[in-house]
Amino acid sequence: MESFFYALETNNWLFFTIVTIVGLAVGSFLNVVIYRLPIMLENEWRSECKEYLELELDSKNNKTDIFNLSKPHSSCPKCQHKIRTWENIPVISYLFLRGKCSSCGVHISAQYPIVEAATAIFSVLIAIQFGVSLETLFGLIFTWALITLAIIDTKTQLLPDNITLPLLWLGILINTYHIYIDLESSVFGAICGYLILWSIYKLFKLLTGKEGMGYGDFKLLAALGAWMGWQMLPQIILLSSLVGAVIGISMILLKRQEKGTPIPFGPYLAIAGWIAFIWGAEINQSWLNIYT
């Protein structure tokens, strides 16, 4: 094992190649999570509501078919053609099939190769930043979680507790060993991250009578604070606001978003959090240089 890590440390090409392949494979799995987890949660909530109201499940929702991250096997939504192994190679299969089902020819969403490629690219950037280390290992987990949360929130306006809460607790756990920051900064980062957005939410609701964001946003910022400490929260909030403003205005100008349509804040928090995770110290130092 020591010789393997030595080989990674002395051969950058080997290290980055492995990270790229792992990133592509994980990106393929993230597509499954992005599609299936919201449906799984919806089924669970519907079942709980029926049980709470003491209502009988209708025939549609009384199916015994298993639906989770592993079953049923992936298939074409139109013709139910089961995806074969060679049709599930990240990016390559999509290009080979020209973005269409091999059976019925229906168009396959470009989301799949984009997520796979983006996961690989961001994974390599993490590897470049931290090298062969525990920081890279946990940084990859952090990155994959943020990608999943950002896309799920974009598509469904949900930030599942199944991801945000484990991410939060993992941030505190690893920082008990000072992987990124000290434990005190991590704990206060989680507390302050949650309370900042919770306070803004309450104030906005008091003034307007409307809900400006969801509780998932509070938990996501708490998770980011747990990983990077309370010191990074101002930068994350500022960056997320800037990213949100730029993307929101661009979408309105391109007529892809109507005025008044709710825009999820989670993706902007995820983007800002990832940027701060990689280049946060350099950004803070640049700001200090400007004002000193």
Q: What is the pLDDT of residues 177-228, one digit of tens each?
A: 999 999 999 999 999 999 999 999 999 888 888 877 889 999 999 999 999 9
**Cβ contacts of 138-145, under 8 Å, gap ≥ 24:** 138/170, 138/174, 138/179, 138/180, 139/277, 140/19, 140/22, 140/23, 140/26, 141/170, 142/167, 142/171, 142/227, 142/274, 142/277, 143/119, 143/274, 144/26, 144/30, 144/119
Position 256 confidence tier, pLDDT thresholds 50, 70, 90: low
- Is the bond preceding 72 in cis, omega lying within 30 degrees of 0? yes
Domain parsing of the chain, residue ranges: 1-132, 160-292
Which position has the token pair 């091999």? 102
Q: What is the pLDDT of residues 70-108, one digit of tens each?
A: 888 888 877 888 888 888 899 999 999 889 988 888 898
pTM, two decimals, is 0.91
Position 237 confidence tier, pLDDT thresholds 50, 70, 90: very high
Q: With residue 51 as reference, give the H or E element that holds it.
A: helix 12-52
CA distance 168 to 218: 11
- Which tokens in the block code for residue 115? 């997520």
- The H helix count followed by the E strand count for the chain is 10, 0
Position 2 confidence tier, pLDDT thresholds 50, 70, 90: confident
| Residue 17: how many other CB atoms lie within 10 Å | 12
Q: What is the pLDDT of residues 113-131, one digit of tens each?
A: 999 999 999 999 999 999 9
Q: With CA atoms as reference, report the closest residue to 196 among 265, 277, 288.
A: 265
CA distance 188 to 7: 39
